[in-house]
Structure 1
Amino acid sequence: MEISDHESNMQVIKDVSSNFTSTFCGDMFSFALGLMLLRATGMSLSFGLSMIIMPIVTLIGLVPIGNLVDTYPHKRLLIISLVVRITALFIYSIAIGHFDGSGKLIPTIGFLIINYASVNLSNSGYMASVHELVNEGHIQKLNSLSQSAASFASTFSPIVAAGLYVIVGFRLFIVFQLTAHVIALIILLTMNFHYLSYPRKSSQTPQESQWAKFKLGLNYLMAHGFLRYLICIALFLNFIFAVINVGLPFMIVEHLHLGNVTLGILNSADALGMLIGNLIISVSKELRHLAKILAVTMVIIGTGLAGVGALLMAAPEQLVVQLVGSLMLFAVGMSLAFMNTPFGIYMQKTVPTELMGRVSSTEMSLNMMSIPLGTVFYSFVFQQIPSGIVFIISGIALIAVTGLTMPTFMHVQMPKTGHATQKADRQRL
Structure 2
Amino acid sequence: MEEVLKLKKATYHLWTFTISKLISSFGSQVYAFAISFYILQETGSATSFAMNLICSLIPRMLIAPFAGYAVDKYSRKTIIITAQIASTFAIGGLLLVSLTAGLSLVAIYATTVILSITSTFSGVAFSSSITGLVDETRIQKAMSMNQMSISFAAIGGPAVGGLMYGTVSMPVFLIIYMTASIIGVFLESTMNFKLFAKRKEVIAGEPKESMIQSMKAGLAYLKLQPILIALIWIALFVNFLFGAFQVGYAFILIEKMKMDSTHFGLTEGAFAVGMLLLSIYLSMRKEVKYPLLVGKRGVLCLSVIMGSVALPLLIPMQYGLMFGLYVFLMFSLGATLIMVNTPMQVMMQKMIDDDYKGRVFSILETMGMALMPLGVVIYGFLYDIFPAQWILIGSSLLLIGAVLFLARPSVVRKAHPELGDSKVEKAEAVSE
On whether the aligned pair clears a TM of 0.5, the verdict is yes
- Distance of 2:205 and 2:361 partners within structure 1: 21
Partner of 1:234: 235
The code of the aligned residue for 1:148 comes to M
Tell me the equivalent position of 1:118: 118
- CA shift at 1:386, angstroms? 4.6
Structure 1 residues 314-329: aligned runs within 5 Å = 314-329=315-330
Question: Which string of whole-angstrom CA distances, capped at 9 and with x for unpartnered residues, describes residues 74-111 of structure 1?
Answer: 111111111111111111111245556xx812112221
- Post-superposition offset of 1:146: 0.5
93 and 225 in structure 1: CA distance in 2 versus 1, 3 angstrom threshold: same
The equivalent residue for 1:425 is none
Q: TM-score, normalised on structure 1?
A: 0.90
1:208-239 CA deviation, whole Å, 9 max, x = no partner? 32111111111111111111111111111112
CA–CA distance in structure 2, aligned partners of residues 125 and 247 of structure 1: 34
Counterpart secondary structure, 1:410: helix
How far apart, CA to CA, are the structure 2 residues paired with 1:386 and 1:366? 29
Contact 2:98 2:171 in 1 (8 A): no
Cα distance in 2 for partners of 1:309, 1:172 equals: 42
1:354-402 Cα deviation digits (max 9, x unpaired): 1111111111121111211121122112222353232222222211222
Check 1:62–1:355 CA distance in 2 against 1; reply closer, same or farther (3 A cut).
same
Deviation string 1:329-349 (CA, Å, 9 cap, x unpaired) is: 222221110111112111211
Q: Percent of counterpart pairs with the same letter?
A: 26
When structure 1 is superposed on structure 2, of 38-47 and 126-135 the one drifting more is: 38-47
Distance 1:261 1:117 in 2: 34
Change (3 A) 1:198 1:158: closer
- Structure 1's 205 and 355: CA in aligned 2 closer, same or farther, altered over 3 A? farther
CA separation of 1:58/1:332 partners in 2, compared to 1, >3 Å: closer, same or farther? same
The 3-state SS of whatever aligns with 1:298 is helix
One-letter amino acid matched to 2:32: S
Match of 1:65 in 2: 67
Q: Distance in 2 between matches of 1:278 and 1:185?
A: 25
Partner of 1:165: 165
Partner residue of 1:16?
A: 18
List alignment gaps of at least 5 residues for structure 2: 419-432
Going from structure 1 to structure 2, the CA distance change for 1:334 and 1:251 (only over 3 Å counts) comes to same
Q: Structure 1 counterpart of 2:117, which letter? A: A
Matches of 1:157 and 1:344, distance apart in 2: 25
Partner of 2:39: 37
Displacement of 1:287: 1.2
Q: Does structure 2 conserve the Cα–Cα contact (< 8 Å) formed by 1:34 and 1:46? A: no
Closer/same/farther in 2, CA of residues 156 and 202 from structure 1, 3 Å limit: farther
1:130-141 matches, within 5 Å, as: 130-141=130-141
Partners of 2:199 and 2:355 within 8 A in 1: no
The Cα RMSD (Å) is: 2.2
* Structure 2 residue identity aligned to 1:57: P
Mapping of residues 68-79 of structure 1, within 5 Å: 68-79=70-81
Residue 351 of structure 1 corresponds to which residue in structure 2? 352
Name the residue aligned to 1:108: 108
Moved more, 194-203 or 158-167: 194-203
Equivalent position amino acid for 1:159 in 2: A
**CA 1:271/1:205 → structure 2, altered by over 3 Å: closer, same or farther?**
farther
In 1, Cα distance between the equivalents of 2:142 and 2:199? 24
Partner Cα distance (1:121, 1:78) in 2: 7
Indicate the larger mover: 265-274 or 188-197: 188-197
Corresponding residue number in structure 2 for 1:28: 30
Q: Residues 21 and 146 of structure 2 are in contact (CA less than 8 Å); yes or no, is this contact kept in structure 1?
A: yes
Q: Which moved more, 1:341-350 or 1:193-202?
A: 193-202
CA contact (8 A) 2:249 2:309 kept: no
CA positional deviation for 1:327: 1.6
Match of 2:251 in 1: 250
Q: Which residue of 2 aligns with 1:185?
A: 185
Distance 2:82 2:227 in 1: 34
Deviations 1:390-420 (A, max 9, x none): 222222221122222211322255799xxxx
Distance in 2 between residues matched to 1:245 and 1:159, nearest whole Å: 22
How many Å separate the matches in 2 of 1:202 and 1:275?
45
Kindly report which structure 2 residues correspond to 1:21-420, keeping only aligned pairs within 5 A, or say none.
21-97=23-99, 104-194=104-194, 196=197, 199-200=200-201, 207-407=208-408, 408-413=410-415
**Does the aligned pair in 1 maintain the 2:56–2:113 contact within 8 Å?**
yes
- Unpaired segments of 5 or more residues in structure 1? 417-429
Between the aligned partners of 1:309 and 1:56, the Cα distance in structure 2 is: 31
Larger mean Cα displacement after TM superposition, 384-393 or 254-263? 384-393
Count of residue correspondences? 414
Give the CA deviation at 1:154: 1.1
Deviations 1:109-129 (A, max 9, x none): 221121111100001111111
The 10-residue stretch of structure 1 (390-399 or 306-315) with the greater mean CA deviation from structure 2: 306-315
Q: Distance between the aligned counterparts of 1:45 and 1:270, measured in 2?
A: 27
Give the CA deviation at 1:183.
1.0
TM-score in terms of structure 2 length: 0.90
String of CA shifts for 1:22-46, please: whole Å, max 9, x gaps: 1111011011111112233332134
Does structure 2 conserve the Cα–Cα contact (< 8 Å) formed by 1:71 and 1:200? no
3-state DSSP class of the match of 1:48? helix
Q: Matches of 1:153 and 1:88 in 2, distance apart? A: 21
One-letter code aligned to 2:20: S
The amino acid across from 2:165 in the alignment is Y
* Aligned-partner residue type, residue 185 of structure 2: L
How far apart, CA to CA, are the structure 1 residues paired with 2:150 and 2:203? 32
